[in-house]
Amino acid sequence: MKKIIKEELVKNLENNQTFVVKFEADWCGPCKMMTQTFNQIDGELEESYPNVGSYFFNIDNDVEYAKSFGIRGVPTMIGFKNGKEVSRKVGLLGEEQIKEFYSAL
């Protein structure tokens, strides 16, 4: 997963890219746990889903922009395809749940 900022996220949406954003916060324990899981399976996700970008967005860097996506709790994962949200999961996800999320894109 790579860090993404508002401008990059807007560009990805405008370019109709397929990607996943994990909205998180530094103070969030479950977010840190999920980051560890992503770090363990990152290579597998890249290999299995080479056309799906993986990003994280720290909500504390732009709270208002995060709110524009309806983020009410973290971690929240949102999958985007063709410029639109196609899937969303809120809360801590394990390895298999993350893989299922990617496979649905």
Rounded to whole angstroms, what are the CA distances from 92 to 24, 41, 72, 77?
Answer: 11, 15, 14, 10
DSSP 53: E
Considering 4, 21, 28, 66, which one is annotated as catalytic? 28
Task: For residue 60, give the amino acid letter.
Answer: D
Q: Is 48 a catalytic residue?
A: no
Q: How far apart are CA 96 and CA 30, in angstroms?
A: 16
Q: Is 28 a catalytic residue?
A: yes
Q: Which of 20, 21, 25, 31 is catalytic?
A: 31
Q: Which residues are catalytic?
A: 28, 31
